[in-house]
């Protein structure tokens, strides 16, 4: 297993376009998290899945954002009608929940630039 992977690594789009990012977690990990990280800041929590269920969404996740994890494996994060303020690094992490706190393993991120 090669860890958490994210695709694409970089995305440049024009304002108003829709973009979709993919995250492949470590196999057998049942939790999957999405974060957003802007330059010079720490990550901010966006949303979290346990298996295919989306259990928590941050207020940062506006109506233009949607995330899915249809079969409890990979996840997609879609941003509709992108705005320049959406420019950031989008990080995905996965973990294996064993009844207590768990260690999150991060992917390399997708850097989004909205022109």
Catalog residues that contact another protein under the rule CB under 8 A. Answer: 4, 33, 35, 40-45, 48, 55-56, 91, 93, 101-109
Cβ proximity to another protein: between 7 and 80 the closer is 7
> Pairing mode, if any, of strands 110-114 and 88-95?
antiparallel
Cα separation of 87 and 109, whole Å? Answer: 13
- Min separation Cβ 81 and another protein, Å: 27
> Pairing mode, if any, of strands 110-114 and 10-13?
parallel
Cα separation of 77 and 65, whole Å? Answer: 7
Q: Residue 106: CB partners within 8 Å, gap ≥ 6?
A: 4, 91, 92, 93
Cβ proximity to another protein: between 44 and 80 the closer is 44
Cβ proximity to another protein: between 56 and 78 the closer is 56
């Amino acid at each position: 297993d090669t860890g958490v992977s994210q695709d694409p690594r970089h995305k440049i789009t024009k304002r108003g376009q829709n973009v979709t990012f993919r995250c492949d977690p470590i196999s057998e990990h049942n939790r999957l998290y999405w974060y957003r990280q802007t330059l010079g800041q720490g990550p901010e929590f966006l949303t979290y899945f346990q298996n295919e269920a989306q259990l928590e969404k941050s207020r940062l996740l506006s109506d233009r954002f949607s995330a899915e994890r249809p079969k409890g494996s990979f996840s997609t994060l879609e941003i509709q009608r992108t705005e320049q303020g959406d420019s950031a690094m989008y990080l995905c992490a996965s973990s294996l929940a064993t009844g207590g706190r768990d260690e999150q393993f991060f992917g390399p991120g997708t850097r989004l630039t909205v022109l």
